Amino acid sequence: MLQDTQTIRYYQQLTDALVYMWNRGYRFDDLRMYIDGYLAALRHSNALEAYLIHRLEEEATRYLRDPSNFEVMPMPEPESDYY
């Protein structure tokens, strides 16, 4: 579980981007490459400590492997008008 506030912000940004990319038609290989690039950029910029980046990678991989995060959302039922 992530506890550092900055790491949680990065996690939220990363997972939001993953869902957005999934909805645009990217697949798991592309998403995995995105995660790798995102984490490499964090490592290169020294934005977080190495152990926090490692935890972020574990959580992002867990998020990516959970199929419920990428299910197609059902469209809401149209309301019938009662006039």
| Reported confidence tier of residue 2, pLDDT bands at 50, 70, 90 | confident
Residue 82 has pLDDT above 90, yes or no: no
Query: Where are the domains positioned within the chain?
Result: 5-67
Distances (CA, A) of 47 to 3, 8, 28, 34, 54: 16, 13, 26, 18, 13
- Position 41 scores a pLDDT of 95
Condensed to tens digits (0 to 9), the pLDDT of residues 5-61 reads: 999 999 999 999 999 999 899 999 999 999 999 999 999 999 899 999 999 999 999
Predicted TM-score (pTM) above 0.85: no
pLDDT at 9: 95
